[in-house]
Amino acid sequence: MTSEPIAHAFLDSLQPLLRQLDAGRTLSPGKVGVLRHLAGHGRATAAQLATAVHVSPQGISLAVRELERQELVVKVPDPADKRRWWIEATEAGRQRLDHDSAAGRQWLDRAVEDVLSADERRALAAAVPVLQKLGTRLPDA
């Protein structure tokens, strides 16, 4: 099998899994990405967030405004540069991220245990490093 059919089959198999993982979320994938970045890396400017989560500056502005309205992030002025604002996840934002992520992880844990055989679980475990390599080592499109 050449790389193109593998890539297409892989993508086709991911779509229903991603839909199911997102089913229990209360936030859009973009807002989850913003919260995940802030929770993992600390505060960031809007420009840094736009680059990190691959969203336009306008998209980040809208997402941050909505997250701020829900009190999941706060904007804090930079004491050294009054033109710069830092965006930080609040404790409520970190809790919401954990809650939204936990629902998908619990579903996936059950599905792996209930649907896959022991050999299939081992094959899936062996594929994880390959998938991580794809996710971390490929250049952006």
CATH classification of the domain holding 56: 1.10.10.10
What residue has token string 């706060």? 74
For the chain, percent of residues with pLDDT exceeding 70: 95
- Give the pLDDT score at 20: 87
Residue type, 11: L
Tell whether pTM > 0.95: no
pLDDT digits (tens, 9 = 90+) for 85-139: 999 999 999 999 999 888 888 989 999 999 999 999 999 999 999 988 887 876 6
Structural domain count of the chain: 1
pLDDT grade for 39, boundaries at 50, 70 and 90:
very high
Range of the domain at 50: 3-137
- Give the pLDDT score at 7: 86
- pLDDT of residue 140 exceeding 60: no
